[in-house]
Amino acid sequence: MEKPWEGRFTEKVDKLMEKFSESVSFDKKLAPYDIALSTAHALMLKKQGILKEEEADKLIEALNQVKKEIEEGKFKWKTELEDVHMNIEKRLTEILGDLGKKIHTARSRNDQVVTDVRLYTRENLNEILSLLKTLKVEILKKAKEYIDTPFPGYTHLQLAQPILFSHYLLAYYFMFDRDEERIKDTLKRVNVCPLGSAALAGTTLNIDREFTKELLGFDKISLNSIDAVSDRDFIAETIFCLAMIMMHISRLSEDFIIYSTYEFNLIELPDKLCTGSSIMPQKKNPDALELSRGKTARLYGDLMGILTLLKALPLSYNRDLQEDKIFLFDAVEVTKITIKIITEVIKNIKVNKDRALKLSKANYALATDLAEFLSKEGIPFRDAHHIVGRFVRFAIDTDKELDELSYKDFRGFLGKYKETLEKKYSLEELEKIYKDLVDVKKAINRRNVIGGTALNQVKHVLKLLEEKENLK
């Protein structure tokens, strides 16, 4: 097939080279943006008197026809025509004859392709923003459902202190909220129009770049044509934003995988997002979560891929850049579907409240409360820590939880401080104090600092977030 650029060539392109260099198999995704771009370009050429009115009108009509053919699946994509741009242009010339070729006046595929990719990126980042919003809203709803449910809190994956499940879940709200902010910031650099930069130096024709920028909804035009055709920072940045979202999702996935095991038994995953084993009839595997965790690797690969593609690439456009779309498209598709799946997980999980309550106070999780009480009574924290440490040892040896013991058991470990305490409080008062100190709900509510897990603090934060997300 005859190529639009074949004028200076005497030899036909090698078949293997055709196969090697084509991008239409993946960049046909850009067709809607390419057609929007060409339509805006034709309108500008008409306004500037570069194309006659009826020429531009016919081109736009034909572009609409091509768009329809593509949407209806009737368009015949040809790999011999390399990429999406040349496929569409070739079809225009089939429809319009020589006039079709005029669409490529005052532009190059170099500014065309990067403008298409910017339009694609803008649309998809906006879609991802709305998916993130839905995810955040589901997190808020789930937090509300379990607003006062005690849950074990971990550090080093060792039971540390009791928290509220709502507080735990809101931690993820904040991660996704930062992801949203990051995307909004990235969009400022995505939404810049390179069209008119042509191959790398601009064009001798009298174009109006502001006009096409407006028609295509860009915020600004690029001011350096060399940078404009070779800049792919916005792709690297976009993939970074998405990799960060996936990293957050992978942490959530890992938590839920662990929490849903038989051994932890803290949450129940919805059957519809799990699968069974082909040999073990009893199995219910957390595949949605495992795949989310696994697909995060794809994003890191995409990020490393785009950065490597750009490393030491001389200015300006080089054909290497054709590969940018492989990483971008993969990152976008994987992130979109993973956010959707994780949103379903959040919507459908159930907390096993009895087990959560039991674990939240297990393993002497309230020992810190005892030590902090002693330090409030004037006992140096180091001594308090030591006293409680020895008491915990005693509890372990006698196989008792802290709430199965009493002040009577504790006082023997106080040493010289026993007298101080018992001078100030009666034994009865100390029994009551001890009981309160090892009560989970009270312990949670004692973490009454801004950002802490006390119920009133979490309620306050939840209310702020609901307002922020325009809920109720």
Active site residues: 156, 277
CB of 69 to ligand ARG, least distance (A): 21
Does 110 sit near ligand ARG (CB under 6 A)?
Answer: yes
Does 321 sit near ligand ARG (CB under 6 A)?
Answer: yes
Q: Which long-range contacts (CB under 8 A, 24 or more apart) does 98-102 make?
A: 99/55, 99/58, 99/59, 100/59, 100/62, 101/4, 102/45, 102/51, 102/55, 102/59
Looking at the Cβ atoms of 124 and 149, the one nearer to ligand ARG is: 124
Does 319 sit near ligand ARG (CB under 6 A)?
Answer: yes
Does 334 sit near ligand ARG (CB under 6 A)?
Answer: no
231-290: contacts with ligand ARG (CB under 6 A) = none
Does 113 sit near ligand ARG (CB under 6 A)?
Answer: yes
Does 439 sit near ligand ARG (CB under 6 A)?
Answer: no
Looking at the Cβ atoms of 232 and 248, the one nearer to ligand ARG is: 232
Give the residue, chosen from 34, 55, 83, 89, that forms a contact with ligand ARG under the rule CB under 6 A: 83
Stretch that binds ligand ARG, among 109-117, 160-168, 236-244, 440-448 (CB under 6 A): 109-117
Does 149 sit near ligand ARG (CB under 6 A)?
Answer: no
CB of 203 to ligand ARG, least distance (A): 15
Looking at the Cβ atoms of 161 and 225, the one nearer to ligand ARG is: 225
Does 109 sit near ligand ARG (CB under 6 A)?
Answer: yes
Looking at the Cβ atoms of 22 and 369, the one nearer to ligand ARG is: 22
CB of 316 to ligand ARG, least distance (A): 10
Residues that bind ligand ARG (CB under 6 A): 23, 27, 83, 109-110, 113, 317, 319, 321-322
